[in-house]
A and B are shown apart, each in its own frame.
Chain A
Amino acid sequence: MRKVLSALWVAGCFACANAQNPSASAVSAKASAPVDFTGYWVALVTEDWRFRMITPHKGDYQAVPMTPQARKIADAWDPAADEAAGNQCKAYGAGAVMRLASRYHITWQDENTLRVDTDWGTQTRLLRFNTASAAGERSWQGNSVAQWEKPSSLKVTTNNLRAGYLRKNGIPYSENAVVMEYFDIAPLPGGGQVMLVTSIVDDPQYLLLPFIVSSQMKKEAGGEKWNPTPCSAK
């Protein structure tokens, strides 16, 4: 009898561990999603308003733990030069994209890839659960590896980035920056949902400490207010 009970215990523990780690099974990320992030989300600009809704003045770097080298680069920020060089999307890269005053449309591109589109800057992020397919040249959105964190979170790690800006006034992150994000969803009073994205940008070249911000987006019923507008360096 004791052997039977021990076997039951081991089987139970195995089942529990397997439930915590869906990647161990052949079930797709979409099928094993513990929570539904898809839909239209609108940024709630309730914090850092003057850094997000308007382009801050050169030299307004409040609260960013910049290295002296980063400050020198930011002090030389020239939006016209960025436009001329085709770098008008530098402030729309993965290090800052979820902090934009934008709308976000999240869909499943395939069974193992979540797609995030922004209307401001018309950026596309691919959050891949199947890491084998991640590769390619550096880009504004880099390579993002996604994994579910039970019971209800999404963890995304992004690298292979082009150097970009944390804020529109030229606060830099380097191409070696790594962006870690956690996505969570909470109910709103009176119905609806809010998505919380905690973003940690780690860049020893330009940041004295990992840059940690959290942003909120409210779910919208549809895409009626979706308004694609191109990147602007100004």
Chain B
Amino acid sequence: MDRRKIEEGLFKALMIASTLIILSSLVLILTTVIVKGVPAMNLAMITQTPKGGFYLGKEGGILNAIVGSLYLATGATFLAILISLPVVLYLNVYAKKSSRIITFTRFSLDVLWGVPSIVYGAFGFTIMLFFGLRGSLLGGIIAVALLVLPIMTRAMDEVIRMVPKELLEASYSLGATRLETALKVVVRQALPGILTAVLIAFGRGIGDAASVIFTAGFSDFIPYSLLRPAATLPLAIFFQLGTPFPEVQDRAYASALILTVIILIISIASRILTRRFTRHVVK
């Protein structure tokens, strides 16, 4: 056999092996979380807040962290939509094509996308010090909103860019203003993509720990106001795993399972939503 063919076969085998290694790392992570998490799961975990001595192995659950995380991720996602949707509409509807501001904003957001979440946390913390805030739900929301902003904006930007220019021109020729075109034509056309972007951002927000460690505080109670500290799932996992008690560590595995399931649901939901809403899109 030709030496060239042998070399090709060898590399092809290596490639398939690497692909399998990478995919099996995903399978390994998911099975580990399930195998360790399921036995430690019980109803109290998701229906109760921690009772006294929870972190010593006494009764209770992590409802505070589940609800805290949902509040926090919802608030942050909402805040991020309020900023990123106008930005994306400006870039794609209002700004003149090839204007400096488009290139600059896209570049700046791409760079921002790479900033580690701990830096967002620390920056959020400096903002809070500036306004005299303490670790609270609001602080966490601000830090996580900043963290997901570039992810959401760039994801929306990618889909809104794909909206055919003819559609905009048709709308203008009927006498619509740019604002009306943006809200009633562009947003509707790109809705599936926008929803996917929102869900991606939500998933990222709910799973991030480093940005809330400075900003959201931690509490055994469900926060009832924006200015109360809020527990979050990732931090609950981290703290539980850090205790020396095996029964509390087991709870960390159960909590990790809950978080992973939430992430999986979000990821599947975004796929289904995309498919369902694409029906209304003008092709």
Please indicate whether A and B come from the same complex rather than being unrelated chains: no
Which A residues are within 8 Å of any B CB, using their own CB?
Answer: none
Which B residues are within 8 Å of any A CB, using their own CB?
Answer: none
